[in-house]
Structures are given as C-alpha cells and as structure tokens.
Chains A and B, each alone.
Chain A
Amino acid sequence: MSELRYLAPHTLDEAIAAFAAAGSAARILAGGTDLLVQMRSGAVKPGLIVDIKKIAEMTAIEQTADGGFRIGAAVPGAVLSEHPRFGRAWPGVLEAVNLIGSTQVQGRASAGGNLCNGSPAGDSVPALVAAGAMVTLQGPNGRREIKVEDIPAGPGRTNLLPGEILVSFTLPPRPKGASDAYLRMIPRTEMDIAVVGVGVNLTIKDGVCTAARVGLGAVAPTVLLVEAAAKALIGSKLDDAALKAAASACSAACRPIDDKRGTIVYRTKVAGVLLKRTVAIAAARAREN
C-alpha cells in the first residue's frame, strides 16, 4: 500500500519546493473536484498532495491598475460570482466558470483547476481563451507569463514545466462596447460535460465589430482559438453573412472524435450553431456597455 502525504503551505515558494521535489508523484490540490474523483476511481495515486488554498495570492481577486483583473488560480466559482465588478466586465468568463459542476461543486471548483485538468471540454477554458487571458506560472526557475491557449497540450496534458504551478489569470481592461459570452451544448440542462463549448469576446463601436476572439472547446484534443472565425466577425456589423462565415470557420476548425459524448458530425454542426448564438448574446451585452 502506497503512502500519501498532504501539505498545505502558506507560501508559493514552499509549495513549489515540495511540488518540484516530489516530481511526477505530486499533485496540486485546489478545489479537488477533479483530483479527488480521479483518486477515488483509481485513475491517479499521488504520493504527495500540495494544497494551494492557504496561499493568499492563489485565492485573491484583484482589479489591476489598468482596469483589468487578476484572479488567483484557486478562486472558487462561487467566490468569483460574488465579486461586485467582475461579472459586469466579464459575464462570459463568469458564466463559463460557473458551469463547472453543480452548486455544491462551485463552492470549490476553480478556473485554474479546470485549465490544469487538461480536458478539451473544460467549460471555463474557451471563455478565457476568448477573453485573451494570460496566465502566470511559477516554478523552480521563476515566474513566466503565457497565453491561456498555450497551456493545454492534449487531453489530460498541459505545457507546464516540471515543478511549475499555475498562479493566476490576468484579464485585460475592458474598452467601451466590449463584452463576452459562453454557451455549451449538453444533452441535459446541467450536471453534464460540454459536447461543444463556445466562448466569444467582442467589441462593438458604432454598430461595427472592431475586435473579436473565439474560443472553441470539446471539438479537438485541446481548446482552440479560432482566428478565422474572429476575422469573419471583425469589421462586420455581425450580419447574417458574417455570422455564417464565422460559423463555417468554427465548423472547419473542428477536429473532433466520435465518443460516448458526441459524434464527429454532430460536434462539427453544433460548433457553428453555437457560434451564432454566442455572438448574439455577446453582441447584445456589448451594445449595452
């Protein structure tokens, strides 16, 4: 029978030292809503668990000097939704984070865990990709910042270096006329995993879309940034032709598999449908800002 050690350090340095020293036997515990389930099913048997919830930076939400937000990697969805300003600036990111699990799970589950779990179907990831979020990583060799879309490496895998911990997300300031939205397709109404997920972030000025980013989940080994879809939207008045082109770009970007959650044909079609619906929501929100 293998032994399991549990640490809950108060500083990032302590956490990194222990995590790096234990190598591949170690796992980071934020909300634990993936890790504990994986352990219970026997899928992982860690020798060390490093609980990061006692590290202040990991659970803080701050508004940055330029008007953006920095969100600790272990901030639970429920805490994020109670923040007085975050949801107004980033309603799409918030609704995506709040889709991770049930109400009970929301008390624990974090965007950081959702990203590091490496699932192509993680709900918060397409919205954060669309948002243009950056992540701060810290490891034995110091800090670095990379784009959210560069974290996933494949199902269950990330590009984090050995000993690195995801510290926080940074979201840029919001110009006037900007907003975002996230929609996912699930066969049920809740308690399910995305068959397709679409995050759209856009800016509208004088009725014209001046900036857009589209994140697409559950249709490829990693969450995708669909630049062709964004291009189709930018410069348009989000008319039917632009939406159709963006939808086609999303469908074209899909590299899905047939599995128990959906077929290739279904996922490819639905990616386009959801793109149109998500743009409509994001645009309606943007016009009010």
Chain B
Amino acid sequence: MNVISNNKWIGQRTIRPDGADKVTGRAAFAADTNMPGMIWGKVLRSPHPHARIKSIDTSKAEALPGVKAVVSARDIVDFPVDKSVMLGIQDMRWMCRNVMAREKALFPGHPIAAVAATTEAIAAHACELIEVDYEVLPWSIEIDDAIRPDAPILHDFLTFEGKPSNIAGKLEVKKGDIEQGFREAEVVIERSFSTRPVHQGYIEPHACLVSVGADNKTTIWSSSQGQFMVRAMTAYLTGIPQSDIRAIPAEIGGGFGGKTIVYLEPLATLLAKKSGRPVKMVMTREEVMRATGPTSGSKSTVKIGAKKDGTIVAAQGTFWLQAGALPGSPIRGAVGCSFSPYDIPHVLAVGFDVLSNRSKVAAYRAPGAPIGAYAVECVLDELAEALRMDPLELRLKNAAKQGTKAAFGPVFPRIGYIETLEAAKAHPHYTAPLGKWQGRGVASGFWFNAGGESSAQVNITEDGNVVVTTGHPDVGGSRAAIANICAELLGIDYKRVSVLIGDTATIGFSNLTGGSRVLFASAIVVTQSTDKIITTLRERAAKIWEIDPEAVKWENGAAHPASPNAGQFEPLTLAELAAKAPVMGGPIGAGVQLNTEGAEGGFGTHICDVEVDPELGIVRVIRYTAVQDVGRAIHPGYVEGQIQGGVAQGIGWALNEEYIYNKSGKVDNPGFLDYRMPVCSDLPMLDTVMVEVPNPKHPQGVKGVGEVPLVPVMAAVANAIHNALGKRFYSLPMSPPVVLEGMEDPEIRQAAE
C-alpha cells in the first residue's frame, strides 16, 4: 500500500471545527433561526392515497383571524408533463407536482395547500378549514399491485411498451452475451428477493425560514444538502430569478441523501411573498415519515453462473424499484453497482422504475446500490456454498482490478477491492470461533462516487491566519478534513485555518453534498486555491528580498530563500507576509471553481456475526468488521464514523426498519417508536479497517467514503443468519416475527445443533 506517512495534518484526528458548537447547543440548525415579525406556515396534506382534486376552497381559512396567506398548486410554477426539465437528478415536472399536488393527490401526506398565520396553532386550524373536493380513486402501494394489468394508473401520460403504465422507466446495463455466458456455466444459482422502503432517518426534520422583501429579494435559511439546489429549485418553482434568492445553509442535523430535494422552501417563499412577513416552517416527525424520502422498496431476481473452479462467467439481475408517486427511483445504482466488484465477461442488469401511491423516494446513501448488492451478494454466498468454496475466496477469484471493464462503462484504474478482501481474510474476526445459534456472513459492495462542480475561496487574514470558504453543507466532516489539507499545504497549525460554508451569495456555485463527492471535489479546489496563495506568498517574499520568485521556497509556514540565495535572508512567515500585504501588493487570497473529474468508485468488504434467539426470532449483530478502500483518510476519525454510520443504517434496514401500511393505504408507523431504527444498545462496537489505496487522480488520493459502507450490510447480515440457521431469508426486514416463523423449518434446529 502506498500510504503517505510523513504528513503533519493530513491523517490526523483533529478536533472537529463544529464540535464545540454542537455539544454546547450553540450550533444553529434550520429551526433555530427566527426573525422579527415572523409567522408560521403549515401544510394541508392529502388524507387519500389517490384522489382527483376537483376543487379547493380556501375562503374560510383566509377569513380566520391571524391567517396571513394561503397558497396552493396554482401559485406554483407549472412544468407541463410533456417536457422534461432536469435539475441535477430531479425533473422539475415531478418536483412541481411533489411540493404541491396539482391534478391529483398521489399519496397520503401529499401537500394540497399551505397556510401562514401568526401562530402555528392558527395555521394548523386554518388548514382544517380548507375545503377540498376529492374524487377518491383506486390505489396501489406494493410493486406487484402497481404492475398488475388492471392496476390503477397514477399518470395517464406515462406509457410503457405503448400502454399507460406505472412503469415509468427502464434502464439496462450490458456486457458480453448473457446467453452465451450461461451456456458456459456449470453451476447456476437464481434467486428472488424483496426489500422494504426505508427512511434516511435524519434526526432533524425539514425546516426553513424565508423572508421576501418588497423588491422580491429573498433570503432562505434552511437545512439541506445543497444551498445552490435550494436556490435553483425555489427559483424554478416560484418564478423568482436565482440572482434574487440568497440561500443560507444552516447546520444540518443529518441528511443521508434525503435533503438533496426541497419540500418546504418554495411554499414558505410563496407564503412570505404573499404575506409580506418572514415565514417559518418546521415539519413534524410524522410529516417527515409520511411525505419525505424514503428510498425504494424493491423486488429483484439475480442469476449467477460459474465454472466448477469458481470462475463466474455470467450474471443477470432484474431490479424493480419503487419510485413512489412520481418517477425517479435509483435504478441506476442498482443496475450499475451490483456486479461491479467482479470481473464477469457476460452481464445483463435491468432496472424498472415503478410508481405507486406512496411518497416520492429521495436519495439515500448510495441510492439503489444496497438493494442490488443485497440480492447479488446473497446469491454469491449460495454459489460459494454450492461450489464448496470459501466466500471470500470466491470473491477474490473474480475480483475486479485495474483494467477490468465494469458493465456500466468504465475501465477501472488502480482500485483497492482485492485489498479489502485480503484484509478481511486476514482479520482475526474471520476465523474467530462461533457459538451455538451464531453465524458469520461476508459481503462486498461498490459505489460510483462523484466529482462535479465545486468552488472555494481561501483568504489570508491580516493577522496571518486562514479562512477557507466552500459551498457544501458539511454532513460528514468536510470542514475538518479541509482544515487538515489547508494546514498541511501552508505548513501551519490547523487551528489557524477556519473553514466556513458560504451561502449562495458569498461563494461560487457548488453542487450539492451527495454522491460522496464533497471532500474529493472541495479538496481539489482548496488545494488549487492554496497553491495560488503559496505562489503569491513566494512572489511577495521575492519582492521584499529582491530576488527571483523561483528562488523562494515555501516550507513550514514561511518563505525561505532557496539556491542560489539559500541562507542569505531570514525566513518570512505567513504572519509577517500578511502584515506587509497592504504595502506589498494588497490582500492575499485566491479562489478556484472547477467541474472536478477523477472521482473513482469505492469498494468495501464486511464481516458480520449474528446470534439468533431461536425462541423469540430476535437476531442480534454481535460482531461486525467493515473493511473499506478509503483512498486516503484525511481525517481518520471521520472516515471511521462514516463507515460505522453506514453499517448501523444497514443493520436497521436488514433487521427491523419498514413502513407498515394500514388497510386504507396510510403509513401506520410514522415515528421513531414504531419505525425501528437501531438504538446504540442494539449494536456492538462496529470495527473498521481502512485500506488506503490512494486515488491516482486526486492531489491527496481522496476517494468518496460515505456511501460504500451501507452497500454490503444487508447481505452480510442475511448471510450470517443463513450461516447460523442453515436457512436463508429472501425478504427484508428479517424481523422477529419473520425469523420465528422461519424457525419452524425442521432442518434448522438440526443445523444449529
């Protein structure tokens, strides 16, 4: 491994810049901002899974004392359904219908109207006074119901194979000749799986405060994964030009992909504009659970063929992903990532985007990839068993490496997948003894990672310290990592570097925080900005010393004369050069804006031990080791935290998390009590192993690390349960009632004895 070890700050577990504020309660999240004259906005939501909106009468609500404004779909800019207008991964045709129901209410919780009033209680009461005439329509929630020939169609204008359909899209990834591949196979395993939609589960509900001036100048404070996304979406949906909107990112209380989209900001903007008062909106947890996120539920079939020696020759996957009520499920992640850890000559992966009457899905940590990996990695486990091979050996034999052409297109450069397998195999966990009713499973996973647009401005203060401004909300430690990099490059203590997240008016366009892109991309623009500053500092020193700038080197936070002038002058520190700035050419600072390229995919391999309570059906994860190729860990504590966080979410997805629907098509568990994410005591210490294979296309070797760790988890847990019981579960979650029912299989007890 090519680990850079002589760095002073890169690779250090420095104190996080946002830490003190967060533990003392000083950090300002979106709901913490208030303004004089502020009023409150509330949303009226559809009680029906599917209904035509025949009329909306808001007159009684408007007449209620204290009500200052009411808005409905007619106030939102319409994007006709026949013309796609993309903004990032979102299509504005669907966004305008998601923030406010237009022709039809498409899921329980779908916004119908919004009210702003002097108190939250008045706004809520006013919502009850709005009279909506619904024509209730038949509905479907589950995939099988939505794709039946007689299924109620959500959108007549969407067709599949020439007919109106709830299948909104199809995506295919192909390599080689799949039929030829299976003809060559000597062992073939084909299995079907299903997973439930799961919510991102961020602790902070969506919230915003919006103020619109008499001249339409608009300020938005909100919690999101991208202030520029908030600005653009709000501009599109309200008709206010982007230049008139200033979106200020609040400290974010978790996003995991679920805050790459807007729900409240356009509504609050329109309410503020109509009322002339600042409008604050904060979702309840119930609203979050009914009307935001989650990621897709799915069904899938995976078929893998191999030679008797373990060489995989063909792999086929069909993945049906729920989009919710408007198109856009992450089929790309499922079809693109599932087989990517392996060098397979013949691959066919097909994804279908399926509509039904549930809330529109939002991104969730490696969108689509965990769904695909769950199926693929479980089938690989069965294949290893059929071939009597160690499951890590099977993966090693077929592992993708430098030069492998991935089915989704690219040829891999130097990647670290094999290193993760070898580290897992060598880890003491892999050979530790297991007790009764205990089992061990392994699984791997891949995520694309992303680059894209980033901007940075690095300024030297008059007292010789550094302020770095970037444009990405910090969800996983980007501020700490950027401080480490900037301190390293300038050769100064990291405490002298302050890293801030600019708003849309104070920093250049930066794409949202997502795709594990932020540190990859912002490190590039910060590095280039800092390099420019170092050039300026050398020029300033050269000017003072009256020598050639090429004869000045920057080291340990100071300019030093280099040959032929070495030793002739005392070094000039950053502070000294900053003090001389006014007379030596002016302020010192540099900014860089780039569309960054070279983000390389990430791989992880996980080992999971479980213990099953055979009488209660409870599965507990008792040991977990996650190995990941992290490129270069700029701040190892944060990298470990990202890995542990992904694993924790995956264990929840595997064992307990699910939306439970009642008979009228409504979510019956819209809160954290009955939507069971893991609590601390549910998990063992989650061990991490960081394998560092630096990204050759990045100045510090950075690869995205935040999403990969969710990808292998459900399969690792499922494989461990199979190992414990000799029985496999093909659906998630593997919750106590499901497992206990499965325990009736007479072979189980024998297998465990």
List residues of A whose CB falls within 8 A of some B CB: 1, 41, 185, 187-193, 195, 260-263, 265-266, 269-270, 273
Contacts and interface: CB of A to CB of B under 8 A. Distances in A.
Contacts of A191: 673, 679
Contacts of A269: 740
A270 B616 contact: yes
B11 to A, nearest CB: 35
Interface string B360-394: 00000000000000000000000000000000000
Given A262-B737, A266-B740, A269-B740, A189 B616 contact: no
A188 to B, nearest CB: 5
Given A1-B121, A260-B669, A270-B616, A188 B741 contact: no
B735 interface: yes
Contact of B125 (A1, A41, A188, A195): A1
Interface residues of B, number: 25
Contact of B679 (A1, A188, A260, A266): A188
B150 interface: no
B528 to A, nearest CB: 47
A265 B739 CA distance: 13
A195 B655 CA distance: 16
Q: Is the interface of A mostly helix, strand, loop or mixed?
A: loop
A269 to B, nearest CB: 7
A261 B668 CA distance: 10
A266 B737 CA distance: 6
B122 A188 contact: no
A187 B679 contact: no
A189 B681 contact: yes
A195 B735 CA distance: 13
A47 to B, nearest CB: 15
A257 to B, nearest CB: 13
Nearest to A42: B124
A265 B741 contact: yes
B686 interface: no
Interface in B610-642: 615-618
Contacts of B673: 191-193
B309 interface: no
B674 interface: yes
Contacts of A1: 121-122, 125
B308 to A, nearest CB: 42
B656 interface: yes
B676 A188 contact: yes
Given A266-B737, A269-B740, A273-B615, A261 B674 contact: yes
Contacts of B681: 188-190
A61 B96 CA distance: 60
Given A189-B679, A260-B674, 10 more contacts: A1-B121, A187-B656, A187-B676, A187-B735, A188-B679, A189-B681, A260-B660, A260-B668, A266-B736, A269-B740
A202 B102 CA distance: 64
Contacts of B125: 1
A196 to B, nearest CB: 9
Given A1-B125, A260-B669, A189 B736 contact: no
A190 B672 CA distance: 12
A273 to B, nearest CB: 4
A189 B676 CA distance: 11
Nearest to B614: A273
Contacts of B740: 266, 269-270
- Sorted from nearest, which 4 A-B pairs have the closest CB atoms? A266-B737, A189-B681, A273-B615, A260-B660
Instruction: Indicate the member of A41, A190, A260 with the most B CB atoms within 10 Å.
Output: A260
Given A1-B121, A260-B668, A261-B674, A185 B679 contact: no
A1 to B, nearest CB: 6
5 contacts: A188-B682, A189-B679, A260-B660, A265-B741, A266-B741
A189 B741 contact: no
A216 to B, nearest CB: 16
B693 to A, nearest CB: 37
Given A260-B668, A270-B616, A190 B122 contact: no
A289 B227 CA distance: 65
A189 B673 CA distance: 12
B253 interface: no
Contacts of B660: 260
A176 B92 CA distance: 74
A185 B616 contact: yes
A276 to B, nearest CB: 9
Contacts of B618: 185, 187
Contacts of A189: 679, 681-682
Instruction: Indicate the member of B122, B655, B673 with the most A CB atoms within 10 Å.
Output: B673
A248 B498 CA distance: 67
B678 interface: yes
B667 to A, nearest CB: 10
A12 B41 CA distance: 42
Contacts of B669: 260
B619 to A, nearest CB: 10
Interface string B414-446: 000000000000000000000000000000000
A266 B617 CA distance: 9
A93 B286 CA distance: 33
A28 B679 CA distance: 31
Nearest to B673: A193
Contacts of B679: 188-191
Contact of B736 (A185, A190, A193, A260): A185
Interface string B165-182: 000000000000000000
Contact of A188 (B286, B617, B678): B678
Contacts of B674: 193, 260-261
Interface string B711-753: 0000000000000000000000001110011000000000000
Nearest to B658: A260
A263 B617 CA distance: 13
Contact of A273 (B286, B616, B655, B737): B616
Nearest to A193: B673
Nearest to A262: B737
Interface in B651-693: 655-656, 660, 668-669, 673-674, 676, 678-679, 681-682
Nearest to A1: B121
A54 B674 CA distance: 34
A193 B674 CA distance: 8
Nearest to A269: B740
Interface in B272-303: 286
Nearest to A258: B737
B665 to A, nearest CB: 15
Contacts of A263: 737
A121 to B, nearest CB: 11
A149 B3 CA distance: 67
Contacts of B617: 266
A192 B676 contact: yes
